[in-house]
Amino acid sequence: MANGYVPKLHLLLLLLFSILGVYLDVARGQVSTPSNWLLKMKSEQVDPVGILDNWSPSTHVCTWHGISCSHDMSHIVSLNLSGSELSGSMWSELWHITSLEVLDLSSNSLSGSIPSEFGQLFNLRILFLHSNNLSGKLPAEIGLLKNLQALKIGNNMLSGDITPFIGNLTNLSVLGLGYCEFNGSIPVEIGTLKHLISLDLQQNKLSGSIPDSIFGIEELENLVVSNNMLDGNIPSSLASLRSLKVLNLANNSFSGSIPVALSDLTNLMYLNLLGNRFNGEIPSEINKLVLLENVDLSRNNLSGAVSLLNSQLKNLKTLVLSDNALTGNIPDSFCFENSNLQQIFLARNKLSGRFPMELLNCSSLQQLDLSGNGFEGVLPLTLDDLNYLTDLLLNSNSFTGSIPPQIGNMSSLEELYLFDNKLTGAIPKEIGKLQKLSIIFLYDNQMSGSIPNELTNCTSLTEIDFYGNHFIGPIPKDIGSLKNLAVLHLRQNFLWGPIPESLGYCKSLKLLALADNNLSGSLPSSLGQLSELSTITLYNNSLEGPLPLSFSILKSLKIINFSNNKFNGTIFPLTGLVSLTALDLTNNSFSGPIPSRLSRNLRRLRLAHNELTGDVPSELGELTELNFLDLSHNNLTGVLSAQLFNCSKLEHFLVNDNKLTGTITPLIGNLQELGELDLSSNNLYGEIPAELVTCHRLLKLSLHNNNLSGKIPQDIGNLTFLYVLNLQRNNLSGPIPSTIQKCSKLYELRLSENLLTSDIPQELGELHELQVILDLSKNGLSGEIPSSIGDLMKLERLDLSSNHLSGEIPSSLEKLTSMHILNLSYNHLQGSIPQCFSGFPLSSFKDNDELCGSPLLSCSSRQETSRLSKAAVIGIIVAIVFTSMVICLIMMYIMLRMWSNWRNVSVSISDGGGNEHDRDEVRWVHGNDKKVGQYWKVDSVALVRSKASRCVFQLKEDSE
């Protein structure tokens, strides 16, 4: 009780200050009257609607708006300015009007804190300050208002603990502190408020458990503590609140089972336990609460069967059991014919079986939600027994068969959700009788047939979604009759034919999704009338022709996706769309330049696979919100403007497969959000700028098929998030940086067809995520294959061909069990091929002269082949020598015969005489002949032997 002196001391000080203020007022010649204080407070308020206009010194204060006085007009007893649109500071001077019994300043825009001086308004019975902009703490001086019966200060920005002095307000019957920012625990002192009827603490930041003292307030009718952080079990002492009509504990962290003691609250009409951690089964004893009208036990961990029966809870109007783990089906005795049940929500449980026919007895039903369960079988033909039903949600089950035509008799139906089932067949034409139908969702089924034109009779339709079925035929030509249609989603069907001209009459249309069909023809110009259109997706069709000029006036368009069609012409009709955030025209035949004037709000711009020409406009650099730019596969030329690199939010930058020239600017480092950069297949030259490696978020870097030169940046390892690195087919030189080991997430590395030299760094073996390929082929790499390559356990393709690698194939490569493509050809490898590589083709190892083993010749066969070759060489030598000798002998024989014949001739001549001249001639002939014979006999044989010896020597060298 010692703490009680604190507010009393405050009160004494305030009284002293107020007396001093009176003396000062008298000294200034002023009279401290209630009207003067009220006029002063008026001057401090903003009064936009003139509520306080008649507050004037010329009229009696009791006639002023919002003021009530005592019978003798001598005292102000009530000030009620609720909902007057007043703003300004809180009326702190009101404490001077101590006669006030009622003060209601609720539903205004007053700010500041609740004055502690209000504790001096001892006569107050009602204090309503809720629904303002008040802040600060709840002053302890509130506890001095002993006569207070109703205190409502919720829906403000009040914070801090709830003062325990609130327990002094023993006459309080209504306490409303909801929708603030109070924290801490619920003060146990509230349990002293024995006359409390309504306690509202919802939507705060209160924690801990509900104090047992509250369960002693026997007159309590409304207990609302929802949307806090309260926890613990609900004690059985809750049963003592026999007067309780409303119990709302929603969205806390209460746990345990739902207490059976709830069944003792026989006056309970509203029970809300949603969004907690209650488990176990629903107590069947709750069926005793015959006055219950609303029950919400959703979003808990409840299990077991549905045990609540409308046949006993005869006043029940709403039953919500969604988002639990309830099993089984609806009990046979669930409904009765004169039921008042209007809403049943059983969504997202584990209920199963066929459609619960028992529900058809609840003829008063207006909303039925059985979505997200395991119901199966066909929909009942008598579904139209629920002729008051407005919302039918049977989506996300396993219902089969077709939609019964009797559904056309459900004349009250407004929303029909049958998506994500296994429904087949066509849409019944009878559905056209549902004049109130506003939403029909049939997506993700297996329905077929054409979309009936009768559907266009449902003129209240606002949303149609038939995505992912097998509908065929044209879009109904009278679709324009649906003037209120806001969503038309027919994507991923087999619809064909043109887009109807009448679609332009659906003036409320905001979403038009006709993608993934077989639509053809050109776009109707009437689409330019869809002034509310926000999203249009037509991709994956066969639409053609130029874009209508009328598109330029669709100022609300935010998303356009016309990719994978046959559109042509220019894209200039889209330049006036100032709200556009995403534009995708990929894979068409658009031509001409890229417009320099596009929406400043663009975040995605995809123009790939077209026939666009000219430079990349520098004005694209003004699209500061751009995060995806894809201009690849066009005929763009010129250099990339420096302004492009002002797009600091860019995450995907793709300009590959064009005819761009110039160097990669160091300004690339400005793109710190970049995740994908593809400049490949252009005519870029120069070095890779070091600034590129400051783009730390890069996941994919593709610069292949250019004329880049110089070295790979030494700090390439800074790109620690890199998944793909492709630099192949350039003129890069120097070694592979060892820092590449820091790119530990790489799963694809391609450096082939460059001028790289030196050894393959051992550090490559630390790239344990490499999976798709490691390609270092067609370079000038030397040295041995690092054994660490064997640590790349996930690798599927390895290509080291066409280098100068030597040494043996490391045995560690046998660990690469995931590899299905290997190429080590055109190197200087030697030794045996590991046995595990025998299944690879010959081409994987060819042109390595000293390599053996399967699929090449076995190493033992190679040695035998070597021995046979030496024997063959000796045989060749012998054959050559023998042949040479035979030829020599034959020649010698011929020469001897010729000599013998010439000699006989010369003897005959000598014997026969002749002149001197003839003898000289014969001598000359014989002399020459002799010399020739000697030359042939000696030199010719020597020449033959010399040639044979050289042949043998050469063969020996070849064999060795």
The predicted-structure confidence for 810-839, as pLDDT tens digits, reads as follows: 999 999 999 999 999 999 999 999 988 989
pLDDT at 563 over 70: yes
Domain 718-852 falls under CATH 3.20.10.10: no
Q: Which of 584, 566, 598, 586 is nearest to 634 (CA)?
A: 586
When the pLDDT of each residue in the chain is averaged and rounded to a whole number, the result is 89
pLDDT band at 639 (very low <50, low <70, confident <90, very high): very high
Q: Does pLDDT of 321 surpass 50?
A: yes
Q: Identity (one letter) of the amino acid at 144? A: L
Residue of 607, 699, 591 whose CA lies nearest to 655: 607
pLDDT for 875: 58
Task: Tally the C-alpha atoms within 13 A of residue 127's C-alpha that lie toward its C-beta.
Answer: 27
CA 251-254-258 angle, to 5 degrees, is 110
Q: Which of 297-306, 473-482, 595-604, 887-896 has the lowest mean pLDDT?
A: 887-896
Q: What are phi and psi of 345, to 5 degrees?
A: -125, 110
| pLDDT number for residue 615 | 96
Average of per-residue pLDDT across 667-674: 96
Could you tell me which residue, 918 or 770, shows the higher pLDDT? 770
**Stretch 607-611: mean pLDDT, rounded?**
98
Q: Which of 325-339, 423-437, 502-516 has the lowest mean pLDDT?
A: 325-339
pLDDT of residue 269: 97
C-beta atoms surrounding 74 within 10 Å: 9
Reported as a single tens digit per residue, the pLDDT across 194-230 is: 999 999 999 999 999 999 999 999 999 999 999 999 9
| Band of residue 235 on the pLDDT scale cut at 50, 70, 90 | confident
Domain 614-709 matching CATH 3.80.10.10: the answer reads yes
Q: 132-136, 419-423, 576-580: which range is least confident on average?
A: 576-580
Q: What is the pLDDT of residue 889?
A: 76
| Six token digits for residue 290 | 């015959």
> Would you say residue 415 has pLDDT above 90?
yes
Lowest mean pLDDT among 379-383, 584-588, 777-781, 900-904: 900-904
Identify whether the C-beta of residue 690 lies closer than 8 Å to the C-beta of residue 667. Answer: no
- pLDDT band for position 675 (cuts 50, 70, 90): very high
Judged against a pLDDT cut of 80, whether residue 775 lies above it is answered with: yes
CB 538 within 8 A of CB 557: no
* One fold for 44-230 and 614-709: yes
Domain 483-593+601-606 has CATH 3.40.50.1980: no
Nearest alpha-carbon partner for 937 in 894, 887, 892: 892
pLDDT for residue 914 is more than 50: no
Phi, psi of 890 (to 5 degrees): -60, -45
3-state secondary structure of 895: helix
Mean pLDDT computed over 325-353:
92
Token readout for 791 is: 């640590």
> What's the CATH number of domain 44-230, 3.40.50.280, 3.80.10.10, 3.30.450.40, 3.90.950.20?
3.80.10.10
pLDDT value at 172 more than 60 = yes
| CA separation for the pair 940, 300 (Å, rounded) | 113
CA pair distance 584, 632, nearest whole angstrom: 12
390: nearest Cα among 362, 357, 365, 409: 365
Taking the C-alpha atoms of residue 552 and residue 432, their distance in angstroms, rounded to an integer, is 35
Any idea where the domains of the chain sit in the sequence?
44-230, 483-593+601-606, 614-709, 718-852
Residue 860 pLDDT: 72
Burial class (CB in 10 A: 0-12, 13-18, 19+), 893: exposed
Q: Which residue has the higher pLDDT, 885 or 269?
A: 269
Using the predicted structure, report yes or no on whether residue 258 has a pLDDT greater than 70: yes
Q: HSE (CB half, 13 Å, CA atoms) of 675?
A: 6
Q: SS3 sequence, 457-480?
A: HCCCCCEEECCCCEEEECCCCCHH
Exposure on the CB side of residue 815, measured as CA atoms within 13 A? 13
Residue 867 above 50 pLDDT?
no
320: its two tokens:
């919500």
Closest CA to 247 of 295, 181, 190, 301: 295
pLDDT tens-digit map of 75-106: 999 999 999 999 999 988 899 999 999 999 99
Q: How many whole angstroms separate alpha carbon 371 and alpha carbon 397? A: 6
Omega before 855 cis (within 30°)? Answer: yes
